[in-house]
Amino acid sequence: MSNCARVRKHAANLVLRVIIVLPAAVLPIIAFASSSDDKGQTSPAMVPSAHVAAAYSNATPLAKLIEEAEQNNPRIVAAQHAWRAVTLVPSQASTLPDPQFTIQQFSVGSPRPFAGYTNSDFAYIGIGVSQDIPYPGKLKLRGEMTKQDAAAEREHYETVRRSVVQQLKTTYYKLAYEMQEIDLLDRDGKLLEQVANIAEAHYRVGQGTQQDVLKAQLERTKLLRETAMHHQEHFSLQAQLRQLLNRPPTSPDILPETLTETPLSYSIDDLLAMVRTQNPEVRGQEEMVQKQSLQLEMAHKDFYPDFNIQYLWQRTDPTKFRAYYMLSFSARIPIHINRKQRPELEQSAEDLIQSRHEYEAQVQQSYFDIRDQYLQAETAAQLLKMYREGLIPQAAGTYRAGLALYESNRQDFLTLLTSFLDVLRLDEEYWHTLLDYETALTRIEQLTGANLSGGAAVTK
């Protein structure tokens, strides 16, 4: 047999071995590319793997964590006690000042106590009581002003509570996103390893280049780098959740539920209508406007006098002299009107105008935030639909067709790898868009008090 014949026989045997080996190596990739039907409604990356699904079965519901945070978060507890403390002030402010009791001893002829008590009708022992009485209406106004302070503190507590809950939800959703990303990268890394094996097999039979093999290995190393970064973010989010829940640093990790799309069941007009009635920052500013109105009314009351009434009983030697009884009534008359009362009145009027403008500014800021977050949520919802129904299925179909062409050596490896990376990139963008969507909804909940997560979740 000639050398040329021996070479042709060896090449034929090698090609035969590759043909036998390739289906086993390509099988996971074919399963990946064929898991979407022609309409492309589902991508494998949108479905948790078995071990992630098992973790989700032991996940801690978000509602349970919110309840724990409301009970244990230091910021919420501190704000709650501050509110309770202020609610005890109105009764103090609306109560009359304490009466003042007086004991007197008046000596005659000598500084010695009781000198002249038996021989002079000027010496006496006296017992008296006096009471300050503010002008009618002042005590009531003071009580109402402190009630407004308590109402404002209640809204501050609600602001703190919603802020912590919003941080908790956002962190929880980020953690669910990180877990899904880690699972996605792990699965795609295995698939990319199979792509590298195919490239290596092609290279061995002279149908590919070493550059194809190295490129596939490089992309898999990049996936490992991204996985490490997501693991780091995962640990950081776990620490943040422990902080929000006031748990010890060594407490077990929290397993979140799978990240799903919550339906946005409110219109923008419905959400805007909730601002003035359910936004705690707006309501807090409204309470301050009412307080400043009462302060202005109090400034008018300060033009009127306050009063004092006093009663005194005096006793000398009862065998020789009669007792004395004295009733006194006095008034504190405001005489420095131009230097005290009028500036106070003008100051209260300016404070009232300021509080009204701050109230409107807070309303407009809340309107803007709601419109902005609603627009982000709407845009994200549209993108999610595009990913589910268009981009991801199309990318999967392109990859599936490229794989068939590459198997028959009618397409280069770089084109196949590019289509694979497109699928990976779109899957990652899908989950990040879903995270953005849920984050926007948590901010809308914080601003309006609407329960956007109460309905059934929309599965992908």
Question: What DSSP line would sit under 178-193, residue for residue?
Answer: HHHHHHHHHHHHHHHH
Spatial distance between the Cα atoms of 14 and 204, rounded to a whole number of angstroms: 9
pLDDT at 293: 95
- pLDDT one-digit tens code per residue, 159-195: 999 999 999 999 999 999 998 888 888 887 777 777 7
- What is the number of residues in the chain? 460
Nearest to 168 by CA among 153, 432, 77, 176: 176
Q: What angle do CA 222, 406, 17 make, to 5 degrees?
A: 100
Residue 227 CB partners (closer than 8 Å, separation 6+): 182, 185, 186, 189
Residue 17 and residue 119: Cα distance in Å, rounded? 139
Could you give the residue ranges of the DSSP H alpha helices within 253-341? Answer: 268-273, 275-278, 280-301
Task: Give the pTM.
Answer: 0.78
Distances (CA, A) of 409 to 224, 243, 262: 29, 56, 45
Distance of CA 457 to the CA centre of its chain: 20
- CA-closest candidate to residue 282, choices 170, 183, 152: 152
Ramachandran bin of 206, using left for φ above 0, alpha for ψ from -120 to 50, beta for the remaining angles = left
**Cα distances (Å, whole numbers) of residue 218 to 196, 223, 224:** 10, 9, 10
Which residues 6+ apart lie within 8 Å of 233 measured at CB?
174, 178
Q: How far is CA 442 from CA 116, 374, 432, in A?
A: 84, 11, 15
CA-to-CA distance for 398 and 391, rounded, in angstroms? 10
d(CA 152, CA 150) in angstroms, rounded, equals 5
Q: Which residue has the tokens 């209260």?
A: 348
State the DSSP H helix or E strand holding residue 88, giving kind and residue range, or none if neither.
none
Class of domain 3-448: mainly alpha
Task: Pull the structure tokens for residue 348.
Answer: 């209260």
Measured CA to CA, the distance from residue 198 to residue 50 in angstroms comes to 26
Q: Would you kindly state where each structural domain of the chain is located, as residue ranges?
A: 3-448
CA 164, CA 118: separation in Å to the nearest integer? 76
Q: Report long-range pairs for 184-189 (Cβ below 8 Å, ≥24 apart).
A: 184/45, 184/424, 184/427, 184/428, 184/431, 185/223, 185/226, 185/227, 185/230, 186/49, 186/227, 187/44, 187/45, 187/49, 188/45, 188/223, 188/424, 188/427, 189/220, 189/223, 189/224, 189/227
CA 5 to chain centre: 76
Q: Could you tell me if 209 and 203 are in contact, meaning their C-beta atoms sit under 8 angstroms apart?
A: yes
Residues of the chain falling short of pLDDT 70:
1-57, 207-208, 407, 453-460
Q: What is the pLDDT of residue 46?
A: 55
Looking up tokens 């800021």, which residue turns up? 365
As a whole number of angstroms, the distance between CA 333 and CA 305 comes to: 5
Q: What is the largest CA-CA distance in the chain?
A: 161
Q: Could you tell me the two tokens for 110?
A: 């000598």
- Strands (E) across 91-247 are located at 100-106, 124-133
CB 69 within 8 A of CB 164: yes
Report CA-CA distances (Å) from 256 to 53, 54, 106, 180, 456.
Answer: 11, 12, 82, 10, 17
